[in-house]
Amino acid sequence: MSSDALASLSHEGRRFAPPTELAEQANLGEEAYAQASADRESFWAKQAERLVWNQRWHRVLNWDNPPFAQWFVGGKLNASYNCVDRHVEAGQGEKVALHWVGEPEGDTRDITYAQLHADVCRAANALLDLGVTRGDRVVIYMPMIPEAVVAMLACARIGALHTVVFGGFSSEALAARIVDCRADFVITADGGYRRGTASALKPAVDGARRKAAEEGHRVKKVLVVRRTGQEVAWDDSVDTWWHEAVNHVSSVHEPEAFDSEHPLYVMYTSGTTGNPKGILHTTGGYLTAAAYTHWAIFDLKVDTDVYWCTADIGWVTGHTYLVYGPLANGATQVLFEGTPDSPEPGRWWKIIEDYKVSIFYTAPTAIRSFMKQGEAIPAKYDLSTLRVLGSVGEPINPEAYIWYRRIIGGDRAPVVDTWWQTETGSVMISPLPGVTAGKPGSAMIPIPGIEADVVSEAGESVPNGSGGYLVLTEPWPSMLRTIWGDNERFIETYWSRFRGGGVDPDRWWYFAGDGAKKDDDGHLWVLGRVDDVMNVSGHRLSTTEIESALVSHPKVAEAAVVGAKDEDTGQAIYAYVILRNEAGDGGPDILEELTDHVRGEIGPIAKPRQIMIVPELPKTRSGKIMRRLLRDVAEGSAVGDTTTLADSSIMDLISAAQTASV
């Protein structure tokens, strides 16, 4: 969103007060803000009591060696026990944990907490049999089936770290992640269903295994769930069927208590360089924040609510708000394998009607695509059970917010616009549904327990009415602990930007990479990334990552990628490519060839909207590509200031190339 658009947005005058009934019975009231800021550590210690600890911590926070934090020091617990066993022990075994809805219509399963418990125990025993031990990394590359959740919890149960890789990523991207975290084990499926057809997953794992081996890393075992029944290549020395492995073992497994700081998982996300970063989350603090935020922000009433988060488990939202938060809280939720509009455009609304979903959490990009289809489709379904609506992944524009609230929420259910990141582990800035009078488009203020600010280039808090950089000014329990294997990069990426400064030489502020604005009331409006990270349909992609993919094609000499504003997907990818001399004009299929290449290197989500072959790229005298100018061209707006270009005639050539290719 441009800052002009934002300036007009933040004058958005509409406000929506919480419904009285919700406000009167809200889980968290207004007073929580003051309590948390008066004594943040006690506040968080109280939240940690939501969990069962085998040994209580002796110190809430150790921040003696910033930015390396330890939360609930000395505490011991098991995340899987907290998500499953304890609910069964509390007499909730017959309660449904997952209403699983498969993509083929009618392919559904209700899984109770007792069944989930037995499944997780079996899977834990099967992993132990395969040779997985605590501290090992297990890559999970699966469709949205219950076994994916079971696999994650089984890893957590035995102290192995899971690294879930989104099923839409290519074999190359999968290999890069396997190699980076040196994963010896992979859990996958033969395939999954998408829009009525079975698509394969196992071949990508086979390819990734070969590629990893070329780089000197050997995957020892691959566990394969049979989902579609399609033919798969099989290597007896490595591959094992999931059903065989879990049928041969006991459904009894005693969970071991791990240190609060024991690593729970690594989740890869795009940064400003070509290599994705492995974000490390640990156990006690992460699970505390997952449970607390899921309870507070969605006002979870655990005995009556049916919750549904539409995120894929391949993203952090799927980790915190599909697996760890809801299950730690003992909630009943929907897990859906398919896409929103298959086999018919009302599929999601049908699921809400069928399961009487009361809390719904999705992304603005989905809401915008429903808006396009019109009001008539959701109007056919009974959505009256919905009482809280969540949004995540990118800024929600006021029109989408209003539509979501009015058409899906019956002008009754509040919208909570939740700002957070893979790195923050849980929601940081959001309205509270029973407290906040929400403004369409604003994430409002940090939740109780979190401290954030918007600061200037020089690191000074900006006054209301001004914009700047979004920072988190105090440590929080679910903060990333480091980048896997790279403490230096961790410090450099997140903590060096606003380190010290004139204000306080000892301060450690986390810089999130987003720009934001405080409106006249001090409410926050997140503007989007200020770095080279793009947000396409709520998915993070780095320009450099796609540039590297393009440059790895033999015909490409140089590439520059920008994210340009797009009505549907938030941003869309535009690539400018210079071909090598020997490639001539690249041949008639060059654009398709390059598109397929990017798809192969990263995955379909990274496919550029448009690729332009250009003779030169706009560069400064020091050789830095001026992406800002390329963005202007892609957005069709007037090209900005070109005075710092080494050769200013280049922009004319590029604009001409763009016009020719449209």
Alpha-carbon separation of residue 126 from 98, 113, 135, 257 (angstroms): 22, 20, 16, 19
For residues 282-315, one letter each, b for 16 or more C-beta atoms within 10 angstroms of the residue's C-beta and e for the rest, the string is bbbbbbbbbbbbbbbbbbbebeebbbbbbbbbbb
- For ligand 6R9, the closer CB: 482 or 535: 535
The 436-455 contact track toward ligand 6R9, x by CB under 6 A, reads -------x------------
CB of 291 to ligand 6R9, least distance (A): 17
From 62-70, 287-295, 524-532, 650-658, give the range in contact with ligand 6R9 by CB under 6 A: 524-532
For residues 451-485, one letter each, b for 16 or more C-beta atoms within 10 angstroms of the residue's C-beta and e for the rest, the string is bbbbbeeebeebeeeebbbbbbbbbbbbbbbbbbe
The verdict on 316 binding ligand 6R9 (CB under 6 A) reads yes
Q: Give the residue, chosen from 362, 422, 426, 595, that forms a contact with ligand 6R9 under the rule CB under 6 A.
A: 422
CB of 500 to ligand 6R9, least distance (A): 24
DSSP state at residue 619: B
Q: Give the residue, chosen from 175, 313, 392, 650, that forms a contact with ligand 6R9 under the rule CB under 6 A.
A: 392
- For ligand 6R9, the closer CB: 295 or 315: 315
On whether the CB atoms of residues 298 and 358 are closer than 8 A, the answer is no
**Residue 58, exposed/middle/buried by CB under 10 A (0-12, 13-18, 19+)?**
exposed
Alpha-carbon separation of residue 223 from 148, 178, 188, 239, 438 (angstroms): 12, 15, 6, 6, 46
- For ligand 6R9, the closer CB: 268 or 576: 268
Q: Give the residue, chosen from 75, 393, 433, 467, that forms a contact with ligand 6R9 under the rule CB under 6 A.
A: 393
Site for ligand 6R9 in 481-520 (CB under 6 A): 512-514
CB of 363 to ligand 6R9, least distance (A): 8
- Listed residue (141, 132, 144, 124) closest to 221, CA to CA: 132
- For ligand 6R9, the closer CB: 83 or 311: 311
- Beta-carbon count within 10 A of 281 CB: 27
- For ligand 6R9, the closer CB: 150 or 400: 400
Binding residues: 194-197, 317, 393-395, 417-422, 514, 529, 537, 540, 551, 553, 556, 599
* Residue 535 neighbours by CB under 8 Å, 6+ apart: 393, 394, 528, 529, 541, 563, 570, 571
- For ligand 6R9, the closer CB: 118 or 516: 516
Q: E strands within 433-569?
A: 452-455, 467-472, 482-483, 510-518, 524-529, 533-536, 539-542, 556-566
The verdict on 317 binding ligand 6R9 (CB under 6 A) reads yes
The verdict on 425 binding ligand 6R9 (CB under 6 A) reads no
The verdict on 125 binding ligand 6R9 (CB under 6 A) reads no
- For ligand 6R9, the closer CB: 92 or 535: 535
CB of 522 to ligand 6R9, least distance (A): 17
What Rg value do the Cα atoms of the chain yield, rounded? 24
Q: Give the residue, chosen from 137, 277, 518, 540, that forms a contact with ligand 6R9 under the rule CB under 6 A.
A: 540
Q: Which chain residues interact with ligand 6R9 by CB under 6 A?
A: 269, 315-317, 392-395, 417-422, 443, 512-514, 526, 528-529, 535, 540
